[in-house]
Amino acid sequence: MKALKLKRDWIIGWLLLLPAMVFLFAFTHIPAITSLVSSFYSTPRGRRPAKFLGLDNYQRMFDDPVFWKVLGNNLWFALGTIPLSIALAIVMALWVNDKLPGRGFARMAFFTPTVLPLIAVANIWLFFYTPGFGLFDQLLGLFGLPATNWLGSPETALNSVIVVTVWKEAGFFMIFYLAALQAIPKTLIEAAQIEGANRWTIFWRITFPLLMPTTLFVSINAVINCFRLVDHIFILTDGGPDNASALLLFYIFETAFRFWESGYAATLTVALLVMLCLLAIGQFFFFDRKVHYK
Amino acid sequence: MTSRQSVAVAGEEIRLENVVKAYGDSRAVDDISVTLPAGAFTVLLGPSGCGKSTTLRMIAGLEEVTSGAITIGGKDITGLNAARRNISMVFQSYALFPHLSVAENITFGLKVRRVAKAEREDRLKTVADLLGLPLLLDRKPSQLSGGQQQRVALGRAIIAEKPVCLMDEPLSNLDAKLRHEMRVEIRALQQQLGFTMVYVTHDQVEAITMADQVVLLNGGKIEQVANPRALYEKPATAFAARFIGSPPMNIIPSTSLPLLGENAPDVLFGLRPEALELRSEGPVRGRVRTIEYLGADTLVACDVGGTDVLARLPSGRSVAAGDALSFGFAPDTLHIFDQTSGKRRDDLITQIGLQVQSS
């Protein structure tokens, strides 16, 4: 009798899980496993089916100069966007957390880039970057500096994309910091003031350590975003010139849907997944010792 | 005992002159002038919303003064920020830094002021011994009980040996037994170290048991400044009379006591429940409404000419609801207040006191 009831609970439990599981499997797990499997096969073409290649695709990846190029770009992109956008987010959050006139407006202004669709935003930035008569060149022209093809030259293309990304991400991260700042009891700051601490000391000794859980969360998100963002590259540079601004995911997209090399694209995807997993795990272990959770 | 423990801190006098705190049109603190003597334990007492916490926060520098001046040790500190006022403070919520250990919490201020490490350790040891914290120094605040957190907050306040210590309802988060212990301990600590204490509470028992001087506030104004005994025995206003003592003093309009009030109209009579005694033909006459048995005593609520009057009677005497009782009292236990201003009217005591004796 009891066993029967237990069995029925199990069935109901699984039935309740089923809808979510179907979608999770159909759109996450099965594609991931299929990708892993395809990464060991050649790309099927016409009447020629996929052929098992073993690790040949991986060998090709390690020998592929473009792969290393986009990986390097991605690293530079991460180093350029993550610390800068986090620092900006904290500064903006501290600013709009204080009592200042027009606080609501400032908060809205900082968050606007997150709300705007990137395609629309990128068009505005395209204008800013236009050689000769774009905003930047006009401003620099006032000081007699020559025009620059910001998005068109290999030296500046990736950095120009980084600026757009920081502008876009910082406001989003600011929201998390703002929420965290408001959760810090005001009396802690007052107690530190009474103990003789100035604003700078209060920030580094009290506020910043108490924001650590948020910093962990935000930095993991930032890292994932670094590998996840492609839309602005499509609009701004299309990966060029000479792959100077191509990132890993952009390269995967090109390989899969422009060159139709789905086998090799699957291999690159697996590499990306492995890297993301290692980064996330590493961050957790690295931060865990330094983060104070309430 | 190290030599440091015997070093007393020289407390400093705090003076408030016409201090006002206004929020828009409403005044949270309304023109307060009072002197808190050096080395004394002063309690700011009053019901919630009376401005006592605001006053404390203005002394601390956490709240700006709208007008008026505050001096500590003769120095005007009205415009100085909190960090430079040379004070310490214990918050109601303790305000311990959750990411720092007990030791780091206590020495935070010393570290901020760049006191040498050897001296920090030395002082930490003294304070930890004084408060019974040596075994807890490595813990985080979240691993401590409420009473232990309270001690850490105390430690952080006294380690810097500041001349002034402010406390904002520090015991309100503790249970009754612990509260009693900490009351005794804080008082002893203050007397041992000798700093000037400003202590905010809404609990009259805390005020009476700990204070050298009580500043009773109501509606942003001072009702009375006195030592606890004077506050209980000679309340300056009807409000003070009702606020101190448990159960509170009976305040009876003269119309309810025709025998006493015939030639003193428009006054309020104040009689403590413990001052009333059963006396046939006594001047306070009423009918018993409810009885509350407290063991040694019984609290009897009577309807006296339309006013509720409480009397504390020895439990030996059996009383039932509906009984008609009459009470007398010793002449010097009668308080008289002006009906409109609420101020004490000692000038009427003799006149009415004679009536009491004759009746």
Report the pLDDT value the prediction gives residue B3, as an integer from 0 to 100: 40
- Residue A87 pLDDT more than 50? yes
Percent of chain A past pLDDT 70, that is, above it, reads 97
| Higher-pLDDT residue of B173, B226 | B226
CA of B153: which chain A residue's CA is closest?
Answer: A191
Does residue B342 belong to any structural domain of this protein?
A: yes
| Higher-pLDDT residue of A98, A27 | A27
Contact by Cβ (8 Å): A202, A192:
yes
- Could you tell me the maximum CA-CA distance found in chain A, to the nearest angstrom? 90
DSSP letter string, B285-322: EEEEEEEEE-SSEEEEEEEETTEEEEEEEETTS---TT
Does residue B101 belong to any structural domain of this protein?
A: yes
Gap from A198 CA to chain B (nearest CA, Å): 7
Taking residues B268-282, report their average pLDDT. 89
Set of chain A residues whose Cβ sits within 8 Å of the Cβ of B167:
none
Set of chain B residues whose Cβ sits within 8 Å of the Cβ of A205:
108, 112
Residue A171 to residue B39: CA distance in whole angstroms: 52
Domain extent for B183: 3-236
Does residue B205 belong to any structural domain of this protein?
A: yes
Q: Within an 8 Å CB–CB cutoff, is residue B84 touching chain A?
A: yes
B224 and B280 co-located in one domain: no
Strands of the B307-314 sheet, one edge to the other = B277-278, B324-328, B284-293, B297-304, B307-314
Taking residues B15-27, report their average pLDDT. 92
Structure confidence by residue, pLDDT tens digits, B276-332? 998 888 888 899 999 998 888 899 999 998 899 999 998 877 888 888 889 988 888
**Domain limit, last residue, from B236, B270, B295:** B236
Q: How confident is the model at residue B178 (pLDDT cuts 50, 70, 90)?
A: confident
- Residue A165 pLDDT more than 60? yes
Gap from B115 CA to chain A (nearest CA, Å): 12
- Residue A292 pLDDT more than 70? no
Q: Which domains does chain A have, with CATH numbers?
A: 65-288 (1.10.3720.10)
Least confident of B13-22, B223-232, B310-319: B310-319
Does residue B323 belong to any structural domain of this protein?
A: yes
Does residue B348 belong to any structural domain of this protein?
A: yes
B173 and B112 co-located in one domain: yes
Does residue B242 belong to any structural domain of this protein?
A: no
CATH code for position B100? 3.40.50.300
Set of chain A residues whose Cβ sits within 8 Å of the Cβ of B101:
none
B227 and B254 co-located in one domain: no
Which residue reads 């000391």 in tokens?
A201
- Residue B348 pLDDT more than 90? no
Query: CA A135: distance to chain centroid?
Result: 27
pTM: 0.80
Q: How confident is the model at residue A117 (pLDDT cuts 50, 70, 90)?
A: confident
Q: How confident is the model at residue A145 (pLDDT cuts 50, 70, 90)?
A: confident
Token pair for A57: 């695709």
Residue A17 to residue B241: CA distance in whole angstroms: 67
Structure confidence by residue, pLDDT tens digits, B256-267? 887 776 666 788
Which residues sit opposite B251 in a β-bridge? Answer: B270
Q: Within an 8 Å CB–CB cutoff, is residue A210 touching chain B?
A: yes
Report the pLDDT value the prediction gives residue B2, as an integer from 0 to 100: 40
**Domain limit, last residue, from B197, B213, B236:** B236
Structure confidence by residue, pLDDT tens digits, A4-36? 788 888 999 999 999 999 999 999 899 889 888
The answer to whether the CB atoms of A190 and B95 lie below 8 A apart is yes
B228 and B189 co-located in one domain: yes
The answer to whether the CB atoms of B112 and A201 lie below 8 A apart is yes
Structure confidence by residue, pLDDT tens digits, A244-273? 888 889 999 988 888 888 888 889 999 998
Least confident of A97-101, B11-15, B199-203: A97-101
Q: Which distant-in-sequence residues (6+ apart) come within 8 Å of A17 by Cβ?
A: none
Token pair for A87: 């620092």
B25 and B120 co-located in one domain: yes
B164 and B230 co-located in one domain: yes
Report the pLDDT value the prediction gives residue B305, as an integer from 0 to 100: 86
**Domain limit, last residue, from B178, B204, B236:** B236
Does residue B65 belong to any structural domain of this protein?
A: yes
B292 and B232 co-located in one domain: no
Enter the DSSP assignment of B154: H
- Residue A148 pLDDT more than 60? yes
- Residue A243 pLDDT more than 70? yes
Q: How confident is the model at residue B142 (pLDDT cuts 50, 70, 90)?
A: very high
- Residue B6 pLDDT more than 60? no
Residue B228 to residue B42: CA distance in whole angstroms: 10
> Reduced to 3 states, what is the DSSP secondary structure of residue B342?
coil
Total number of domains in chain B: 2
Q: Within an 8 Å CB–CB cutoff, is residue A183 touching chain B?
A: no
B207 and B265 co-located in one domain: no
Residue B308 — φ and ψ, nearest 5°? -75, 125
- Residue B1 pLDDT more than 70? no
B254 and B215 co-located in one domain: no
State which H helix or E strand residue B155 sits in.
Answer: helix B146-158
ipTM of this predicted structure = 0.83
Antiparallel, parallel or unpaired: β B164-168 and B87-90: parallel
> Reduced to 3 states, what is the DSSP secondary structure of residue B251?
strand
B113 and B175 co-located in one domain: yes
CATH code for position B346? 2.40.50.140
- Residue A93 pLDDT more than 50? yes
Mean pLDDT, chain B, integer: 89
- Residue B255 pLDDT more than 60? yes
B179 and B220 co-located in one domain: yes
B155 and B46 co-located in one domain: yes
Report the pLDDT value the prediction gives residue B154, as an integer from 0 to 100: 92
Q: How confident is the model at residue B150 (pLDDT cuts 50, 70, 90)?
A: very high
Does residue B241 belong to any structural domain of this protein?
A: no
Report the pLDDT value the prediction gives residue B10, as an integer from 0 to 100: 80
CA-wise closest residue to B105 among B149, B62, B61? B149
CA-wise closest residue to B71 among B54, B91, B87, B50? B87
Which of residues 23 through 82 in chain B touch A, CB cutoff 8 A? 60-62, 81-82
| Higher-pLDDT residue of B124, A129 | B124
The answer to whether the CB atoms of A294 and B98 lie below 8 A apart is yes
Set of chain A residues whose Cβ sits within 8 Å of the Cβ of B89:
190-191, 194
